[in-house]
């Protein structure tokens, strides 16, 4: 229902509500590209889709400003369900949005609501990336234990809001939006080959580049879901890909980066993930012969994971040392360690090795115990811990 049909509340009454904010990603650039008439039609479609989902899930529209919506729900579960439904429907129409959710007490002001909870929700939206449903820890805590899974997005300072805020995103939403990719490769035949593979696999290649400057311009203009970049590009043909990865993950945190290399360079792989352990990957170019590997890497990167080429992990694990701490590991534990270092979850490892997840949990615990590395629930920290140990 909309705010016009919402049940009345007394002026000044405080109500517990889940607040939802949305906006279109890159709306200013998009409006200038398509023109006033098309932009008006797009907004009308956008508004109609959002209102239909709000009505279906008993959301109450509080305000609409340009390309953004503000609504409230009586439960966070309905808010999350509505956010995901809106995102899916609009994405099918070529409209990419971001969504934020927070839960708290709101003050009734006429037929609107206000208060600190509303301000928090609006500020959380400013931290979200394209195709992301970002939520406060309050939302996460209330719905924990259900079917919704969350990805940790760290501690944030929200402008004008006291204290620090632990934020999360609804797992899987960003991965589902992996469609728009920029490819950076200075060898034209290789670049065209990658572009063809991606398009055949259903991706939308929204930009191509042959050097670092061209890549950064393409990312700024297209705001892709992911970038595929050769590690060596003009002008120096050394580490431009790593430089680009660092800049992109810093300036455009919603964009994942997959770095490609023709050579096995473990130090480059570790440098990449030490800078930004989430939503990055490092693969050998030979992997591109199997498009399924490329698609899987992009999916995992967009879902916040870290992807490291198995050949690099194998070389690190198998490297001989004068004092080899890995000597205490069983053959199966070494195998599990290698898959952990690739960035795989325990669930994925269990599927790969045809074991139960409980068995893999036990193997991982034993590995970390023998290596004197405390286990962490953060999968990216697990990768960093393992690779830092292997580098020692």
Residue 349: how many other CB atoms lie within 10 Å:
22
Is CATH 3.40.50.2300 what the domain over 180-308 is classified as, yes or no? Answer: yes
Check pLDDT > 70 for residue 379. no
What angle is formed at CA 144 by the lines to CA 277 and CA 74, rounded to 5 degrees? 120
**What's the pLDDT band for 46 if we cut at 50, 70, 90?**
very high
What's residue 112's pLDDT?
84
**Distance set, CA 351 to CA 156, 164, 358, 360 (Å):** 35, 38, 12, 10
pLDDT of residue 20: 97
**CATH 1.10.10.10 matches 314-391:** yes
| pLDDT at position 323 over 70 | no
Query: Residue holding tokens 């808010």?
Result: 79
In 10 A of CB 37, how many CB atoms?
8
How far is it, in rounded angstroms, from Cα 15 to Cα 75? 12
CB 367 within 8 A of CB 336: yes
pLDDT, tens digit, 9 for 90 and up, residues 167-197 = 998 875 444 456 789 999 999 999 999 999 8
pLDDT at 287 over 70: yes
User: Could you tell me the two tokens for 275?
Assistant: 């800078």
231-260 mean pLDDT:
89
Q: Where are the domains of the chain?
A: 3-176, 180-308, 314-391
What is the topology classification, in CATH, of domain 3-176? Alpha-Beta Plaits (3.30.70)
* pLDDT at 4 (0 to 100): 42
How many angstroms separate the Cα of 152 from the Cα of each of 223, 280, 346? 22, 16, 17
Judged against a pLDDT cut of 80, whether residue 326 lies above it is answered with no
CA atoms within 13 A on the CB side of 20: 33
- Which pLDDT score, from 0 to 100, does residue 6 have? 43
Task: Give the long-range contacts of residues 54-59, CB within 8 A, separation 24 or more.
Answer: 54/1, 54/2, 54/82, 55/1, 55/2, 56/82, 56/85, 57/81, 57/82, 57/85, 58/1, 59/1, 59/20
Q: Count helices and strands (H / E) in the chain.
A: 16, 14
Count CB atoms within 10 A of the CB of residue 164: 11
- For residues 156 and 185, give the distance between their C-alpha atoms in angstroms, rounded to a whole number: 35
105: three-class secondary structure by DSSP = strand
pLDDT computed for residue 254 by the predictor: 84
Interval 300-312 mean pLDDT: 80
Query: Could you tell me the pTM of the whole model?
Result: 0.49
CB 333 within 8 A of CB 359: no
The pLDDT confidence band at residue 391, using thresholds 50, 70 and 90, is low
> Is residue 2 very low, low, confident or very high in pLDDT (cuts 50, 70, 90)?
very low
Chain centre to alpha carbon of residue 124:
15
Question: Which one has a higher pLDDT value, 367 or 3?
Answer: 367
Q: CB neighbours (10 Å) of residue 22?
A: 24
Tokens linked to 305: 């994971």
Residue 54 confidence (pLDDT) above 70: yes
């Amino acid at each position: 229902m909309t705010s016009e049909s919402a049940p009345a509340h007394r002026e000044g009454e405080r109500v517990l509500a889940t607040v939802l904010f949305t906006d279109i990603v890159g709306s200013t650039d998009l409006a200038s590209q398509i023109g006033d008439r098309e932009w008006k039609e797009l907004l009308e479609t956008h508004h109609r889709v959002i209102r239909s989902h709000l009505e279906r899930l008993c959301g109450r529209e509080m305000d609409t400003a340009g390309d953004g919506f503000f609504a409230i729900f009586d439960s966070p579960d309905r808010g999350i369900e509505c956010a995901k439904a809106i995102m899916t429907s609009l994405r099918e129409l070529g409209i990419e949005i971001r969504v934020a959710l927070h839960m708290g007490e709101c003050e009734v002001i006429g037929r609107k609501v206000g208060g600190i909870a509303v301000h928090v929700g609006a500020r959380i939206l400013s931290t979200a990336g394209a195709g992301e449903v970002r939520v406060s820890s309050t939302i996460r805590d209330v719905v924990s234990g259900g079917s919704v899974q969350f990805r940790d997005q760290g501690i944030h300072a929200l402008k004008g809001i006291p204290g620090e805020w632990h934020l999360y995103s609804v797992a899987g939403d960003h991965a589902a939006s992996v469609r728009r990719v920029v490819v950076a490769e200075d060898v034209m035949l290789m670049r065209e080959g990658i572009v063809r593979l991606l398009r055949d696999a259903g991706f939308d290649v929204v930009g191509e580049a042959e050097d670092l400057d061209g890549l950064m311009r393409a990312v700024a203009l297209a705001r892709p879901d992911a970038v595929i970049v050769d590690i060596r590009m003009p002008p120096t043909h050394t580490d431009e890909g790593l430089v680009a990865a660092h800049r992109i993950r810093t300036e455009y945190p919603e964009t994942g980066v997959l770095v490609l290399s023709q050579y096995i360079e473990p130090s480059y792989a570790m440098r990449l993930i030490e800078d930004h352990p989430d939503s990055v990957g490092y693969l050998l170019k030979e992997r591109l012969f199997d498009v399924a590997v490329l698609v899987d890497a992009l999916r995992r990167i967009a879902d916040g994971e870290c992807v490291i080429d198995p050949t690099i992990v194998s070389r690190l694990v198998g490297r001989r040392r004068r004092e080899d701490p890995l000597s205490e590991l069983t053959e199966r534990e070494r195998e599990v360690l290698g898959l952990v270092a690739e960035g795989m979850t325990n669930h994925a490892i269990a599927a790969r090795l045809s074991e139960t997840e409980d068995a893999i949990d036990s193997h991982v615990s034993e590995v970390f115990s023998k290596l004197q590395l405390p286990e962490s629930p953060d999968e990216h920290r697990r990768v960093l811990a393992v690779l830092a140990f292997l580098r020692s």
